[in-house]
C-alpha cells in the first residue's frame, strides 16, 4: 500500500549527505596516504640504519600519527556546538549535522496554513451566483456546520462565529438532524440531512468548489430555483475566481429538498442539487512571512509552498 511504502522509506537507511561524503573522502585519503607511507618509511629506515625492529616501531608510530582517529571527535564537537546554537534560537534539532544540512539547503518546501499564515480563518464574503452578498448562503452553511458531528475544524468554527455575528443562529432551533454523510478526501465535501418542523427533509452540502458544482443541476438566481445553465455555471465560476483573486479560500454551499423518501441517505443523494452560493474565507499571512521569504531568497534559497489551495490564493 501507499502507507506501507511510505513507512518503508522512512524506516530505511538515510541517504548520505554531501557533508557525510566529504568526511568519508578525507578519511579515506588519510588512510590511503598512511598505507603508502608506512611501507616506504619502514624500508628506507631499515635499509639506512639496518635496525629493522626500530624501523618497524617508527613505521607504526607514523601510521598512528597519520590515522584520523581524532577526526570523528573534532567533527562531532563542532556539529554539537552548531546544534546547541540552533536550539538556543528555538529550533528543533534531531540530528547533529542539522547545521550543515541547513547551510547546504537551496530549496525550502513549506506548508502555508499555520506556517506562513496565522491559521485564523474568518468569513469575509458570502455571495450568491450573481456575486451579491446573500445571507442565505451563510444560513445554509451554518446549518451544515452546526449539525456536523465530531470535532469541528477551523472553517466550521469560522462559519458559526460569522452566523452569530449576523444573528442567524436561531435557525438551528427549527431543525433536527436525521443523518450525516461525512467528509472524505475523494469527494471533498460533507453533507447533513435535517428535518424541519413540518416534516420536510433538507440535504445541505458544503465543500470544494469544483466538487460542489459537479453535483448541482440547479441554482438560486434572483431568489428563485432555476436550472443550472452553462451561462449560470460560468457566472458561479467567475464569482469563485474573483474571491480567489482577492486572496480568499472558497467553499461552495448547495442544498436539496426531500432528497430521499426511504429515510436512508448516502453519497448517491448528492446529485441534482441546488447551488446556493460561495463563502470567501480569509487566513491572513503572518507579519514575518514576507520578510522571511525575502531573507531566504537573499541567501539563494528558493521557497516552495505546499498547499491544497489554488495557485491564485497561494500567490
pLDDT tens digit sequence for 191-243? 999 999 888 899 999 999 999 999 999 999 998 999 999 999 999 999 999 99
- Cβ 83 vs Cβ 96: under 8 Å: yes
Structural domain boundaries, residue 96: 2-111
Query: Greater confidence, 56 or 18?
Result: 56
272 plus 207 within the same structural domain: yes
pLDDT in tens, 233-256: 999 999 999 998 888 889 999 999
Domain boundary among 111, 139, 154: 111
Last residue of a domain, one of 111, 132, 167: 111
Distances (CA, A) of 70 to 60, 67, 221, 277: 17, 8, 79, 69
Confidence at residue 285, expressed as pLDDT on a 0 to 100 scale: 83
3-state secondary structure of 183: strand
The DSSP 8-state label assigned to residue 117 in this structure reads B
126 shares a domain with 106: no
As a whole number, mean pLDDT of residues 143-163 equals 90
- Whole-number pLDDT of residue 31: 81
Count of the separate structural domains present in the chain: 2
**% of the chain with per-residue pLDDT over 70:** 95
Same structural domain for residues 11 and 90? yes
Parallel/antiparallel/unpaired status of strands 224-227 and 216-221? antiparallel
Question: Residue 244 has which C-alpha cell?
Answer: 480567489
Model confidence pLDDT, tens digit, residues 78-96: 888 888 888 888 888 887 7
Indicate if the pLDDT at residue 10 is higher than 70: no
Give catalytic residue positions.
111
Average pLDDT estimate for 186-195? 92
Same domain for 259 and 126: yes
Q: Taking the alpha carbons of 14, 18, 21, 22 in that order, is the dihedral positive or negative?
A: negative
Looking at the DSSP assignment, which residues form a beta bridge with residue 130? Answer: none
Is the pLDDT confidence value at 261 over 70?
A: no
Same domain? For 226 and 100 the reply is: no
Burial class from Cβ neighbours inside 10 Å (0-12, 13-18, 19+) for residue 13 reads: exposed
**Distance set, CA 24 to CA 29, 32, 71 (Å):** 8, 12, 11
Higher pLDDT, 57 or 312: 57
Q: Are 107 and 297 in contact (CB under 8 A)?
A: no
CB contact at 8 A, 121 and 158: yes
For the record, the C-alpha cell of 40 comes out as 616506504
CATH number, domain with residue 262: 3.40.1110.10
Q: Compute the distance between CA of residue 219 and CA of residue 255 in angstroms, rounded to an integer.
A: 9
For residues 269 and 174, membership in a common domain is answered with: yes
Amino acid at each position: 500500500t501507499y502507507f506501507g511504502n511510505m513507512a518503508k522509506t522512512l524506516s530505511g537507511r538515510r541517504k548520505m549527505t554531501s557533508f557525510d561524503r566529504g568526511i568519508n573522502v578525507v578519511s579515506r585519503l588519510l588512510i590511503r596516504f598512511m598505507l603508502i607511507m608506512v611501507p616506504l618509511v619502514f624500508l628506507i629506515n631499515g635499509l639506512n640504519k639496518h635496525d629493522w625492529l626500530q624501523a618497524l616501531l617508527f613505521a607504526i608510530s607514523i601510521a598512528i600519527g597519520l590515522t584520523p582517529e581524532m577526526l570523528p571527535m573534532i567533527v562531532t564537537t563542532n556539529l554539537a556546538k552548531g546544534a546547541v546554537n540552533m536550539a538556543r534560537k528555538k529550533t528543533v534539532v534531531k540530528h547533529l549535522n542539522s547545521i550543515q544540512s541547513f547551510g547546504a539547503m537551496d530549496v525550502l518546501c513549506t506548508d502555508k496554513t499555520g506556517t506562513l499564515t496565522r491559521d485564523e480563518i474568518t468569513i469575509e464574503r458570502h455571495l450568491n451566483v450573481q456575486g451579491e452578498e446573500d445571507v442565505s448562503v451563510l444560513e445554509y452553511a451554518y446549518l451544515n456546520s452546526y449539525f456536523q458531528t465530531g470535532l469541528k475544524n477551523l472553517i466550521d468554527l469560522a462559519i458559526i462565529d460569522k452566523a452569530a455575528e449576523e444573528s442567524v443562529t436561531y435557525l438551528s432551533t427549527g431543525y433536527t438532524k436525521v443523518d450525516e454523510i461525512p467528509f472524505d478526501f475523494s469527494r471533498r465535501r460533507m453533507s447533513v440531512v435535517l428535518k424541519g418542523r413540518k416534516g420536510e427533509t433538507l440535504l445541505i452540502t458544503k465543500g470544494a468548489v469544483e466538487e460542489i458544482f459537479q453535483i448541482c443541476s440547479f441554482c438560486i438566481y434572483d431568489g428563485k430555483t432555476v436550472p443550472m445553465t452553462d451561462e449560470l455555471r460560468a457566472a458561479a465560476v467567475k464569482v469563485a475566481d474573483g474571491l480567489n483573486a482577492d486572496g480568499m479560500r472558497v467553499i461552495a454551499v448547495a442544498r436539496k429538498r426531500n432528497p430521499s423518501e426511504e429515510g436512508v441517505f448516502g453519497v448517491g443523494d448528492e446529485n441534482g442539487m441546488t447551488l446556493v452560493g460561495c463563502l470567501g474565507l480569509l487566513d491572513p499571512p503572518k507579519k514575518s512571512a514576507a520578510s522571511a521569504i525575502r531573507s531566504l531568497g537573499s541567501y539563494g534559497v528558493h521557497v516552495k509552498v505546499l498547499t491544497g489551495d489554488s495557485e491564485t490564493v497561494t500567490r
